[in-house]
Structure formats: C-alpha cells, structure tokens
C-alpha cells in the first residue's frame, strides 16, 4: 500500500492515526486514534471509535443516571478511566492536545459539571484504557504503513458519530483516501 501516508504530515501530539484498511491487528482494525503525546519517550493516545456497552454512571456510582457513553481507549491500563474534553481552563490541570482538545485534569470538576448538567457529550469523551507505543514503536508502524496520519478535526473527535468515524476521516482527506473507506475488511472479498 505505497503512498498511503501523506508526506507532509508528521506524527505528533494532536494528530489522528487512521488505521490502514487491511491492518491485521484486530485490536486496531478500522480505528481512529487521537495522539495525546508523541515524543522521544514514546507515544500515547485514545481510540475514538470503539464504544463499550457501559455508561459512565455504571462506572462512577455517585453520578446521575446520564447516558454518557464510554469508549475503549486502548489496551493499556484498562482498569483506569481517562477523558478528553473541550473545556480548557475550566478543568484545572488538563493538558492541551491541540485544536481546543484537552485530556485529563481535575476529575472532581468534571463530575461536578455533569451533576449540574453543565457539560454535554459533545464536550467530553470518556475512555477505559489508552493506546501506548514505546520509543520508536509508532515510527516503525508508520514505516510499515499501518497508519495514515491526519490533522485533528475537533468536530470529528468529540462530535462525530463514532460508528462512521473511520470512513469519514478517510473521506475528509480527499478522493485519494476516500476510496479506502469502501474497501471490505477482508481483501479477499474484494
């Protein structure tokens, strides 16, 4: 699959990783990952389009019965809850990823905003676990053309329908990539 990775987009904090159409790794097949960090110490991010069959109030018992979805962020630390948001400085100690998207911060503030109904699903997304790469590992996967790199689109990250995210992210990149959105998961069925 030569030519899948645009030459002018480098991996980095705030970029999206779009799984190439025939990625063999079943865990990351047809996923979109938001990179929260990418440096000499490694990389980490969150899978944006793997919804779990559990709501936030089932995980955090002192929250109202809201239908906030929880996503599988990746295979690392699956016993921890992580979140990204567009609330900025409202949530102390949050770290800006880019494009008005932040991760982490004071969870008590997040819970308080949820209790007072002052935050919407389009402002925060919750994850169990995260996706992590050791130093150089993601670069090797990029050389193998496992991922297509795209710029961050805030609308796609927080507001998008997660089921169509992989296809829509490819279509957003133009006709050269839009064709991949229609490929079958099994290339032998093509």
How does DSSP assign 102-124, residue by residue? Answer: EE---HHHHHHHHHTT---TTTE
Average pLDDT for the chain = 89
Q: Which domain covers residue 121, as residue numbers?
A: 16-189
**Would 111 be classed as within a structural domain?**
yes
Q: Structure pTM?
A: 0.91
**Would 11 be classed as within a structural domain?**
no
How many domains, the chain? 1
CA dist 72 and 29 (Å) reads 13
Site of tokens 């290339």: 187
Instruction: Classify 16 as helix, strand or coil.
Output: strand
What are the tens digits of pLDDT across the range 76-114? Answer: 999 999 999 999 999 999 999 999 999 999 999 999 999
**Would 108 be classed as within a structural domain?**
yes
**Would 105 be classed as within a structural domain?**
yes
- Whether the pLDDT of residue 1 is over 80: the answer is no
CB 134 within 8 A of CB 42: yes
CATH of the domain at 55: 3.40.1740.10
What is the predicted pLDDT for the residue at 33? Answer: 97
What are the tens digits of pLDDT across the range 53-64? Answer: 999 999 998 888
What average pLDDT does the segment 174-182 reach? 86
What is the predicted pLDDT for the residue at 187? Answer: 62
- Residue 96, exposed/middle/buried by CB under 10 A (0-12, 13-18, 19+)? middle
**Would 7 be classed as within a structural domain?**
no
């Amino acid at each position: 699959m030569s030519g899948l990775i645009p030459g002018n987009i480098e991996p980095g904090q705030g970029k999206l990783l779009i799984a190439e159409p025939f990625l063999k790794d079943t865990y990351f097949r047809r996923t979109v990952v938001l990179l929260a960090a990418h440096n000499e110490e490694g990389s980490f991010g969150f899978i944006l389009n793997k919804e779990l069959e559990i709501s936030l109030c089932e995980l955090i018992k002192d929250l109202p019965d809201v239908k906030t979805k929880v996503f599988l962020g990746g295979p690392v630390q699956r016993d921890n809850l992580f979140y990204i948001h567009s609330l900025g400085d409202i949530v102390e100690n949050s770290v800006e990823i880019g494009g008005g998207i932040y991760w982490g911060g004071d969870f008590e503030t997040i819970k308080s905003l949820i209790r007072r109904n002052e935050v919407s699903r389009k402002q925060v997304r919750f994850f169990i676990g995260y996706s992590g790469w050791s130093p150089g590992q993601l670069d090797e996967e990029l050389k193998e053309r496992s991922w297509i790199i795209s710029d961050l689109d805030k609308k796609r990250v927080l507001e998008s329908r997660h089921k169509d995210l992989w296809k829509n992210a490819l279509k957003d990149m133009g006709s050269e990539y839009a064709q991949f959105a229609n490929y079958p998961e099994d290339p032998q069925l093509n």
